[in-house]
Every structure is written in C-alpha cells, then in structure tokens.
Chains A and B, each alone.
Chain A
C-alpha cells in the first residue's frame, strides 16, 4: 500500500479514546439488552448483575433468548458459550503481549473484547496490552450504565438505527481490517476467504460459531511454505 496514512497510536490514552468511540456503539446495545430482558421478565437485579460479571453482548443475548424461549440450562449455556468461543483464538493471539505470572495474564485477558482486541493490534502478530486495557476500561462501565438505563426506561429498538449507530461496529472493524493490509502478509486474501466463509456460515450456524470459524482463513498463510513455516519473501514483513 503506497499511500500516506495517519499512523495508529497505542497506549493507555489512545486506548481510552478508542473506548469512548466504541462506547457510543456499546451503549445502545446494552440499553437494548436491558430493555429486552425486562420485557421478557428477567428481574432487574439479575439483568444488571449479568452485565457486570459476564460483560458480553452476544453471550448475554443468547442466554436471554434461549432461557426465555424455554430452553434447558445446559442448552442455553451451550449457545452462549459457542458465541464466546471466538475469544479463544483472540486470547492465543494476545498471549505473548500480556506480561507477568499466569494469574495476572488471565486477569488481563478479561479485557479482550472485539473492539479492544482489534484496536490493540500493532501488526506482525503484536498487540499493545495498554491500548486493550484502556479501550475496555471505558466500555465496561458504559455497558453497565446502558443496561441500567435499558431496565429503567425500556426505549424502542428503532432508536439505534435512526441515529446511525449501528454503523459504528462494522465501520470500526472495516477500518481496522484495512489497517492489517499494511502490516500482515496476504491479509487481503485472508480477509476475502474469511468474508466468504463467514457469510456462508451465518446462514446455517450461530454468529459466534461463524466468527470462530472465520479464523480458519488464517491458514492461508501456510500455503506454499515449508514445514518450518518459512520460505517466502514476505517473511521479512513479519520480522
């Protein structure tokens, strides 16, 4: 990519700034969760505690919809877990960037959220943990506040669309994806395959499973390489 681009910033402060942007998108989602849970009969305390200790939109909505639809506890937990399994490869990816003993890295990994994880990507497999911490530190209280407001006010779900806030997440992911084109070899190929794979899977599988399996597109990087994982000219870009 031969063009001038504002270089991304990393650290606590850029992370907090990113968190404010993401918080604008997170708030209405949390509000929707709070409103929906109240409508479906969850007690306010359970709804708010769920947002405090689970802090995952997809898993919380899966648990809410499956339990209130009469599903068993086991199946409801299975659906919610499948949605959050995408955090497993994300955790593996950031493992080398978190510091300290195992318990400290495990705690730091709790700040892995889709947007925070993506914002922390520095290229060539490196992640800035402070950026991830900062972005998540803003989103967590916003998520709880949004849930509380949703429980109390129960606004109509059309509010998010009328303000154009449903573009924030796909827009944010698009910008970060384009950024990887500068830092990761074969990124356009990997992204193209992931898009086709995810688009197809969404027709037959839960969204969380589709995202999880999109990670298989990363295997494209191995095509044409020897058993040692080297042998291509673009290895230099990874160094």
Chain B
C-alpha cells in the first residue's frame, strides 16, 4: 500500500513542479533583471546536466573512456556537423576505446 501511495504522490508532486512556472507566470513579461537570468539558465543547467551525466553521484559513475568520444563530439561540432552525426561518431569512438582498453 505504501508503494502505491508513494508512486501516486510522486506523480502529483512531479506534475506540480513542472506546471508551477508556466501556470503561474504565463507569458507575462518578467522584470529585465529576472529576464536576463532566465535567458542564462540554459547554459547553466546544460552544463550542470552534462557534469551529472558524466560524473554521477559522488563522481562514482565517472569513466574516463567517455572523454575521447566527447572530444570527438566537440571537434565535429566545431566543424559544423549535425547533432546526430556528432553523437553517433562519439558513440562509435567510445565503443572502440572500450574495445581497446
């Protein structure tokens, strides 16, 4: 019973967290300083997500063999390649590195 309650309550909390900003703020213009910060959230959160995906909780999921793949992705991005080409090349390099090391 506790499990079902936990799942149900978590679903409601999750809904509320996602809905809060759009439902309460709508498309009302934000004050200029707040607007500037909101516009800067993307690089901040993306960098945070990248590091969490790479390192994991307590850095326990860090695997240096992902770094060559990420480097290839960065280089291909600089060369103007599409997103999917960058990712596929990175995955292939990672598989190759893991096969060798």
Give the docked Cα–Cα distance between A118 and B46 (Å): 7
Confirm or deny: A152 has a beta carbon within 8 angstroms of a beta carbon on chain B: no
Confirm or deny: A108 has a beta carbon within 8 angstroms of a beta carbon on chain B: yes
Label chain A's interface by main secondary structure: helix
Give the docked Cα–Cα distance between A76 and B90 (Å): 36
Tell me how many residues of B have a C-beta within 8 Å of chain A: 76
CB-defined contacts of A198 to chain B, threshold 8 Å: 47-48, 51-52
When the two chains form their complex, are residues A202 and B22 in contact, meaning their CB atoms are under 8 A apart? no
When the two chains form their complex, are residues B18 and A214 in contact, meaning their CB atoms are under 8 A apart? no
Give the docked Cα–Cα distance between A202 and B91 (Å): 25
- Give min CB distance, B63 to chain A, whole Å: 7
- Give min CB distance, B18 to chain A, whole Å: 4
From B77, which residue of chain A is reached at the shortest CB distance? A178
When the two chains form their complex, are residues B6 and A67 in contact, meaning their CB atoms are under 8 A apart? yes
| Known pairs A84-B17, A210-B48; A219 contacts B22 (CB<8 A) | no
Give the docked Cα–Cα distance between A217 and B19 (Å): 23
When the two chains form their complex, are residues B10 and A59 in contact, meaning their CB atoms are under 8 A apart? yes
From A17, which residue of chain B is reached at the shortest CB distance? B84
When the two chains form their complex, are residues A203 and B59 in contact, meaning their CB atoms are under 8 A apart? yes
When the two chains form their complex, are residues B36 and A92 in contact, meaning their CB atoms are under 8 A apart? no
CB-defined contacts of A180 to chain B, threshold 8 Å: 42-43, 46
Label chain B's interface by main secondary structure: helix
Interface residues of B (CB under 8 A from A): 2-11, 13-15, 17-27, 29-59, 63, 66, 69-70, 73-74, 77-78, 80-84, 86-87, 90-92, 94-95, 98
Which residue among B39, B45, B63 has the maximum number of chain A CB atoms within 10 Å of its CB? B45
CB-defined contacts of A77 to chain B, threshold 8 Å: 6, 9-10, 13
CB-defined contacts of B78 to chain A, threshold 8 Å: 3
Out of A89, A102, A191, name the residue touching B43 (CB < 8 Å). A191
Confirm or deny: A171 has a beta carbon within 8 angstroms of a beta carbon on chain B: yes
Give the docked Cα–Cα distance between A225 and B40 (Å): 14
| Known pairs A3-B80, A108-B22; A42 contacts B3 (CB<8 A) | yes
| Known pairs A53-B7, A108-B22; A161 contacts B56 (CB<8 A) | no
- Give min CB distance, A15 to chain B, whole Å: 13
From B7, which residue of chain A is reached at the shortest CB distance? A50
